[in-house]
Structure 1
Amino acid sequence: MEYIEQQTYLEFKRFCKILFLEDDPDLIASYKKIHATGAAWPEITQGMRDVGILDMEIYCSGTILFMIMDTIPDFDHEKAMNELAGKPRQSEWEAYVSKFQKTSSALSAKDKWQSIERIYKLGE
């Protein structure tokens, strides 16, 4: 009960997205390693914070990635993703991770990760 009461005071926008990995166990294992605690490039995590991303989690089930992205309340997704794409090393990171993903190395995170629609929320 205490946890729920604390959550009601937080204000943020939440985005949920999916992306598919190549169907290769070795590539999937490597992808998980580059996303392990402390393994992501510091410029990438700082760039996300700079554009208003407060928290991000990525979950993996087989070849499916599911992302939860919490942002500042007035987050403008289009503007922030365009700004993020121009951050130092961001295009290098996108090209690097694209070898694991079922996507093109030329695409930005905005174009790779597909937003999904929330259809249910407990209590609503």
Structure 2
Amino acid sequence: MKRYVLTCELKDDPILKKEYVDHHKKVWPEIVDSIKKSGILHMEIFNLETSLVMIIDTTPEFSFEEKAKMDAKNEKVQRWEELMWKYQKKIPSAQPGQKWVLMNKIFSLPQ
């Protein structure tokens, strides 16, 4: 299993932040199916003010590139992503069109 941690920012608007959280209380079933089919086994999103952190656990074969190809062919995923842009903003270091940016692990508690 692989683990990835990503970050994203929300627009600093209380109404938009609430709407974003509300959307994630009832994620469209097609989005959940798409996530699972891509090789993501577990996903959590955490929020503090405008900061978002996503933790995903994947199969060893998971690929962000393959997921992007799958998503590009899925009309429902494209509609969801377009909707989410209403709430999210680009992190300065992100590539054009990129919302979620992979974080670097800087510490792991020794076992």
Whether 1:19 aligns to 2:8 is yes
Task: Indicate the RMSD between aligned Cα atoms, in angstroms.
Answer: 1.6
Matched residue, 1:117: 104
Is the strand fraction higher in 1 or 2? 2
Question: Which entry has the higher C-alpha Rg, 1 or 2?
Answer: 1
- Identity among equivalent positions (%) equals 36
Corresponding residue of 2:70: 83
SS in 1 for 2:79: helix
Partner AA of 1:31 in structure 2: Y
Listed one character per residue, the Cα deviations across residues 56-106 of structure 1 (whole Å, up to 9, x for unaligned) are 000000000000011112212222232233224011001111111114xx9
Which whole-Å CA distance do the structure 2 matches of 1:95 and 1:59 have between them? 21
If asked which structure has higher relative contact order (CA below 8 Å, sep 6+), I would say 2
Name the amino acid aligned to 1:15.
Y
- CA–CA distance in 2 between the matches of 1:31 and 1:67? 14
1:23-63 CA-to-partner distances (Å, cap 9, x unmatched) read 00111011101101xx0000001001011011100000000
Structure 2 segments unaligned to the other structure (5+ residues): 91-95
The separation in 2 between residues aligned to 1:92 and 1:61, in whole angstroms, is: 25
Q: Secondary structure at the match of 1:17?
A: strand
Give the structure-2-normalised TM-score: 0.88
